[in-house]
Structure formats: C-alpha cells, structure tokens
Structure 1
Amino acid sequence: MRIEKTALDAQNRCVYSLYKEKGCIGHAVTCADCFEALEIAPEWQSRGYGSYLLREVLRQNGGFDRTAPSEFTAPLPDAGNTAAQALAAKFGFVPRGGLLVRRRVPDLTAVELTHRFLRSTLAPGGLYLDATCGNGHDTLFLCSVAGENGRVIGLDIQPQAAANTNALLAANGMAAIGRAECCDHRELLRFAPPGSVDCVMFNFGWLPGAAHDVHSTADSTLPALQAGLDALKPGGVLAAVLYSGKVIGNAEKKAAAEFFRSLPLADYTVLICEFANWADTAPLPCFVIKREK
C-alpha cells in the first residue's frame, strides 16, 4: 500500500489517495487541520483500510507528536453511519460544537513541566540564560518567551552543542534574539553581571545524540547553580532538571537537591517537583525564585 498527497489549492486543501495493487481504494480530503472527507471504496470497506488512511494522515500532520499540541476537526457522521462513528472514536474524535474534534496536549515530561511553569511566570523582554543548551531546544523555548525585545544566551561546554543550538535558532528565525557560546556553565557570569538575569535554566545530563561519557557532575553543577543564583535579579527564576540513572549515577541529583533545600528562606523560594508514582530515577524539576527585598 502507498499514500500519495496532492495539493488542491492555495488554501492548503489536500487529497491523500490510498493505493493498493496499483488501484486507488480510498482518499481523504483535508484543509489545514480539518478533515473534509474520508472514503474507502465499498468493496474494500471493513478491512482496516480506513483506519490505516486516517492514521497516516494524522501521523503526517503531527497528530501523534508527543511534544506538541494538536487539534483536528471533522464533520459529524450521519446518525446511521456506525462504522464512521466507530472509526472516529477509535482515534479520539469526540462530538463538540457540531463537529468531531480531536485534541492532544504534550505529555507532561519534566522538561514540559518546566516549560509550562516558566511560560506562566516569565514576561517578555529581559535577559535569559540557558546554561546547558545542548541541541538548543530549551534555548529556542526561552527565545519564544523573551520575544523580540528580549535576549537569550545559551552556554555549553561542548562546541558541537553550541553549533547545533545556533543552527536551530537560525532555522527558526530566532538568531536576532538568541545565540549560543561555548563556555563552562560555572562561568556564566562572564555573560551576565550579578543581578541582571530574569531566568537561568539548567537541563543537566548529557548532550542528546552524543556519547554518554560526557555529562555534568556535582563538582561542576554546584558552582554553576550558585553562579546562576548570583546572576538572577530579584524576582528572577532559576529552573533545573536533575537526572540520575545507571550511566550518571545519583550523586549530582542528590547534591543539587540538597543545595536547593539549604537555601535560606529569607532569600529564596524553592520548589522541588517530584513525580510521585514514577521510578526513583525519574527526572526532578526544581525551581528557585529569588525573593525581592
């Protein structure tokens, strides 16, 4: 089987044609994220081809992406069309406002929780530091929060990470807002004087896609966290995702958590967010808000 996609017009209407043994046995017509029609030839119905076609169209348009929200709509099927109703229900479409609607939100990972917290807390503008920029996804996120009047600096000790981050920012039109530098995160005050930063973000561990033998450790992490706190302005937020496991052990995660718990209440509000029904090695999102005097 194969599916061919054909653009119909400038309004993003497309037809997806399902072929089997050189013949077209069904098609779906979409307009952006709206299904206008989905049909399977009568002689090929009740064999799973409708499910296959719908699944592939959703997949090609981000409907199964665990990292991004999605929403698709479709017309309500006729009351007597039980097969269409069952197909819609199978893929999570529910009746709402005279249409079928399928909504998905990103899985609540430690990083997604961190992003949601920061987006709800930070305001556009100001200075933001991604102290462990990796491949640049957190830096890109901070650029979206900072906006055109803000500034974001990503740091990483590995040159490839800084290069990957700068390439990602350029590809997403954010090079005017953010940039990455090759630098040990313990030296972040080189790029921001004390009391000048709205947010410092850490996502510890190793560079995704690289060898696991290069990763952060407690020896470098604790000085970097202190530098991050020094960089914050009153009301600023430090966010850190801590990791443990077979490769990196538990020392860094334990030391950082103890460091956060030792911070004086007069100066900081500290949140350590535990996923209570996950494994002990689950990532640990932490937030420190510098209190205003």
Structure 2
Amino acid sequence: MQIRCEGTVYTLYKEKTPIGTARLEEGTVWVEITPAWRRRGYGSYLLKELLRGNGGLDPKAETRFTAPLPADDAARALAAKFDFRPDGTRLVRRRVPDLSAVGLCHEFLAAHLAPGGFYIDATCGNGHDTEFLCRLAGPSGRVLALDIQPRAVAATNERLAAAGLEGVGHAIQADHARLGELAEAGSADCVLFNFGWLPGADHGVHSTAAGSVTALKAALALLKPRGILAAVLYSGQVIGDSERQAALAFFRSLPLTEYTVLVCEFANWADTAPLPCFILKR
C-alpha cells in the first residue's frame, strides 16, 4: 500500500492499483474510495495523510478545513472521527493551537504592550521569542536579544534576517546575569525570560538558580514604570527545581507597593509543567 502526493491530491495505491483519492481544493476536503474497498479503513488512512500534509495534525497550528455534507453513515462516521462538524450546508473542522506556557506569555504581552517599545529577550534560544517581540515592537521599536551560547545567537540573527526583522532586533552573546550592563536603568518596556536549555542542544547546558535570580533582579531595574517582566520557569529530572524555586521565592519577596506579581499555574497538568510568571512594575 502506498500514497502518492501530487500537489494537494493524494492517491492511495494497493498493489499498484489506485483505490482512492483525497484532495484539497481551496480549503475543502474531498475523499473518494473505490466501492469495492470501502469500509476497510482506507478512507481514514487517506484523510489522515492529507490533514498531516497540510498542517491539520500540528497542535501548534491554527487550521480550518471544510467538506461537503456526507451522503451516508460511513462517510459521516469518517468525518466525525477527524472532528468535522456540521455547519450549515457543509462540514467544518477548526483547530486552534494548544495553549502552552510560552503561548500564554505571548498572548499576555500582546495584550499589554504597544508597538514602538524597547523589549529585551534575555534567553533568546533559537529566536522564536525574539521574533515575536520584534513583530510586537514594530518598525519603530527595538529588541535586544542575548544568549550565552554562540549557536543560539547565530540562530536568532538568522531567523530575524529571514523574517526581514533585522532592522528591529538583533542578538548578542552575553550571560543574562550581566543584563544590567547592557541597557540603561528604566529604559525597557518588557524583559522576557524563557529559562531552561537551548532546544536541540546539550541539555546539560542550562540556566541555573544563582545566575537567573541575578538576571531577574537586573531586569526589574531595567524596566520602566508600567513595564512587564515575563518568565517561564521549568523543572524536571535534568535541571531539577532549584532554579524554579529560587525564582518563585524572589517573586514572592517583591514589595506589593512596587510590583504586582502573577504566577499562572496549569492546575491539571503535571507538577513539573512550565510555569508562566509576570511582574508588573508600578
């Protein structure tokens, strides 16, 4: 059994004989299985590959597919299996990205920050957060990114260049514990931390409690009044929980007269789940 893909047309072959097709036309899905081969799971196999090939199974992607209303019970069961639901005269399958700790940080910052600001990504990694901040800052804003690993700095600058954002932000190699040396006090609208290790790199190299708390203290000094510090804290078998506990202890020690601190817990996730935190400077 083999599937051949030509553009958005998927053809299923069994012993070199085509027995079904699935195609995508302007967001509408069509599936047809040769009558002799129906009710054997081939429709599911084809539809799954079509959705996979077009982002429909990516939990981080927002997608929308439509399909004609099914003509029989088998077709209705197939559609329901892949979350197509009736919507007027057709079926619709809508997916929004699963909420994550980083995604929650992005949503919070997008709702509370305005274009034109000065933003700092204190742990740029592969540059995803830096790119987000650059798009948020806009052409009139500025983003400084840093990471202790040269590989991360290079990846971030390459990402910004590919996105046409090198005029908004750039990354440099620096330890976030030295953050206070890289910008003037009271100059930043936002400082973002995504602690842990560099994705795809050696997990033995990761941020630590001592350096991270020093960096958090420096970040607060860099913030303007009404500025925001956002941090995602991690724990687990590799890095333990010392950094997370030290950061939380620091957050809880901050005076209410100067800061509002939010710690957002995913109550039905594992105890080691990432923890998004926000500090709003008064």
TM-score (norm 2): 0.94
- Provide the residue aligned with 1:230 in structure 2: 221
Distance in 1, matches of 2:15 and 2:165, equals 46
Contact 2:23/2:50 (<8 A) preserved: no
Secondary structure in 2 matching 1:219:
helix
- Provide the residue aligned with 1:117 in structure 2: 108
Indicate yes or no: 2:10 matched with 1:16. Answer: yes
Letter in 2 for 1:114: C
Contact 2:231/2:277 (<8 A) preserved: yes
**How many residue pairs end up in the alignment?**
282
- Displacement of 1:130 after TM fit? 0.8
Distance in 1, matches of 2:15 and 2:115, equals 55
Distance in 1, matches of 2:122 and 2:99, equals 22
Match among 172, 175, 187 for residue 166 of structure 2 = 175
Q: Which runs of 5+ in 1 are unaligned?
A: 8-13
- Displacement of 1:73 after TM fit? 1.3
Against the structure 1 CA distance between its residues 282 and 82, is the aligned structure 2 distance closer, same or farther, given a 3 Å change threshold?
A: same
Indicate yes or no: 2:21 matched with 1:27. Answer: yes
Q: Which runs of 5+ in 2 are unaligned?
A: none
- Displacement of 1:67 after TM fit? 1.5
- Provide the residue aligned with 1:146 in structure 2: 137
Secondary structure in 1 matching 2:24:
strand
Against the structure 1 CA distance between its residues 32 and 169, is the aligned structure 2 distance closer, same or farther, given a 3 Å change threshold?
A: farther
Indicate yes or no: 2:43 matched with 1:50. Answer: yes
Structure 1 runs of 4+ with >3 Å offset:
none
- Displacement of 1:133 after TM fit? 0.7
Q: List per-residue Cα deviations over 1:145-179 (Å, max 9, x = no partner).
A: 22233222211001011111112222333223222
Distance in 1, matches of 2:232 and 2:253, equals 18
Against the structure 1 CA distance between its residues 87 and 276, is the aligned structure 2 distance closer, same or farther, given a 3 Å change threshold?
A: same
Letter in 2 for 1:17: T
- Provide the residue aligned with 2:118 in structure 1: 127
- Provide the residue aligned with 1:11 in structure 2: none
Distance in 2, matches of 1:100 and 1:144, equals 34
